[in-house]
């Protein structure tokens, strides 16, 4: 007798629920609406916009009833979002209950909207093994980018005519994150435990460079 298979059976996804309909939630909807039925819920959404006619807006129960649920909320609101949606999830979706409330592997797209929706296809164990290294790299990749962009925005108006290719790339990078909500900047700079160390290193190097430039040989 062959051993009983313990492989997880694939689930055909026809509907996707999006909890939170800010920049990330709208990006998801933009890319996925041709392939799935989309439901969205966002307490801050006061009126449906005709630009999002491809999304059905409803309450948290409607979102939780979908085959796949995506939490597109700020990091600071993730815990409350999980608590709020938990009672409404389908039995087969209650993976966190079967694992006795152990930490759920979560992913966030590392990239900007122009790169599309990155695929998050890794096994839970692999995600946990890579989590620390990924956050260390994100502290530099995202933390420094947003830090420099925030400084440049406060230095506006920036030159637009007499520029160089390298400066134009710097402005382009700034424009890619300019519209991010303040909560995104704070999540990147405060919620990543490695970000403070990276910022300190950045400021120390910048201060050393300023001291060197102030010297008169």
Q: What is the pLDDT of residue 158?
A: 93
Which residues of the chain are in CATH 3.40.50.720 domains?
Answer: 15-102
Residues 152-206 pLDDT 10s = 999 999 999 999 999 999 999 999 988 887 888 888 898 888 999 999 999 999 9
Q: Is the pLDDT of residue 6 over 60?
A: no
Q: What is the CATH number of domain 15-102?
A: 3.40.50.720
Helices (H), the chain: 23-32, 60-64, 78-85, 95-98, 124-154, 165-178, 182-186, 195-214
Residues 58-85 pLDDT 10s = 899 999 999 999 999 887 788 888 889 8
Residues 159-172 pLDDT 10s = 999 999 999 999 99
DSSP code of 112? -
C-beta separation of 80 from 54 below 8 A: no
Q: What is the pLDDT of residue 96?
A: 44
Asked if residue 132 has a cis previous peptide bond (ω within 30° of 0), the answer is no
Helix (H, G, I), strand (E, B) or coil at 71: strand
């Amino acid at each position: 007798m062959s051993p009983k298979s313990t492989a997880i059976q694939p689930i055909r996804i026809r509907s996707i629920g999006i909890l939170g309909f800010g920049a990330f939630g709208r990006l998801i909807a933009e890319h996925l609406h041709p392939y799935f039925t989309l439901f969205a819920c966002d307490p801050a959404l006061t009126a449906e916009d005709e630009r999002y006619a491809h999304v059905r807006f409803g309450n948290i129960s409607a979102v939780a009833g979908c085959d796949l649920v995506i939490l597109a909320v700020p990091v600071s609101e993730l815990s409350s979002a999980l608590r709020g949606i938990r009672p409404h999830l389908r039995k087969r979706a209650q993976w966190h209950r079967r694992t006795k409330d152990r930490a759920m592997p979560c992913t966030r797209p590392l990239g900007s909207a122009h790169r599309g929706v990155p695929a998050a296809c890794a096994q839970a164990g692999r995600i946990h093994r890579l989590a620390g290294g990924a956050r260390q790299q994100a502290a530099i990749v995202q933390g420094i980018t947003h830090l420099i962009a925030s400084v440049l925005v406060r230095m506006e108006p920036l030159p637009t005519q007499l520029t160089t290719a390298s400066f134009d790339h710097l402005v382009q990078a700034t424009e890619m994150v300019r519209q991010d909500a303040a909560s995104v900047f704070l999540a990147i700079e405060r919620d990543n435990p490695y970000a403070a160390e990276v910022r300190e290193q950045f400021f120390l190097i910048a201060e050393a460079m300023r001291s060197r430039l102030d010297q008169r040989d």
